[in-house]
Structure 1
Amino acid sequence: MFDLNEIKQRVASKTYDLGYGLYASNNVSKLLIVGDQAMASVAGQYKYKVTLENIAGAQCVASCTCPAADYQEVCKHAIAVALKVNSLSAAELANANADATTQGNERGALMAWFLDKPANELTDIIMGFLDESEHEYDKWVFMMSNDKQAMSTGELSKLITKALPKKSVWGWNEVRSYFVDADSLFEMIFPAIEKLPVDQQ
């Protein structure tokens, strides 16, 4: 399904070898294939989400949640997924596509199930979900407040300051945990900034 020779030409040999190592160690899981697109999880230092897609008349396009994907066109995790997909037989590929169809049907069934629920029961479900995630809870409280009354530039400045690191962050785990928190804050901040007049933005 994916042109491995074309991918090889675009990456360093070390990156390709590392990707092969991940594939050979069975680190690729939750593989889902929909048409010309493949999605999977790849276990490395953390679990990363990878998407690979064949674009007609263009190169294979890869995206990954790993840090290396910011500066590499195709990272080792994307290579591992390409190798996994290409190792499948025609029957296995057909099964993978069938699984994707089943998941699509499940999504539709789940939406229909939610639509049948009374409003108070749906509210209980949402509140239960929000109570399990501090970031999600804070995000929705912020959205509710901002929906009722746009925040002032002063309030937004405080939030931006809160989202910036208080000290130099160098260790990989510290950096990762900082960006997880900051990302959830900026996810709230940017839509609020868009509500301000252009000169205040």
Structure 2
Amino acid sequence: MDLVNTIGETTSLGASGMILWGSFNLSQTVDTCRKLQGYMNTTLNPYIINVTLAAKMCSQVFCQEKGVCTRKDVNTESYLHLNPIHLTVELVENGQFTIKGEPTVEDLKLFADHFICSCFANMACEKKVNVETDTIYINVCASKNVCLRTVLNPRNATSPNSTREILHSSTSLVLFLLFLIVLENERFGMQTRL
């Protein structure tokens, strides 16, 4: 599955969610179940965590969590991804995920250059944030225990104060994240764009 051109594209255009499905034969044998679990642990779940945290971080910083970041130019290939130079999602013991690294002011500048804030219905979210001068507090979660918490201070960009807590069992991550997206969009009255 091409995750960038499906999940990544959908998220970057501001869609409020998506549904993934496969055929029944993915779970008919022990071998195919193991292959599916391996794919989810090494590829799908880390990508979903990456995109979810990037989208929520952009929304929190630039939309005050009252909207979503969408591409300034829909014809570009800009995606809401965590910068792999600074952040990686890794699987550790017992099916838990952890994040290594932390975002930087430069990462937020890239979001500001390529994305705009699309406000939820009846919400005002036009506050301008200057990532080069403002201290930025980031506290976003992909689910209950999959969070990225840090403080970015452009004046002291080499050592931001950070606490990272990213742990999650991969068993139900995909369904849980889709449920959260749908629930959050209903809460804010946002319509899905595909």
**TM class, shorter-chain normalised?**
under 0.3
- State the TM-score, normalizing by the size of structure 1: 0.22
Q: Normalised by the size of structure 2, how large is the TM-score?
A: 0.23
The structure with the largest strand share of the pair is 2
Larger radius of gyration: 1
Higher relative contact order (CA 8 A, sep 6+): 2
Larger helix percent? 1
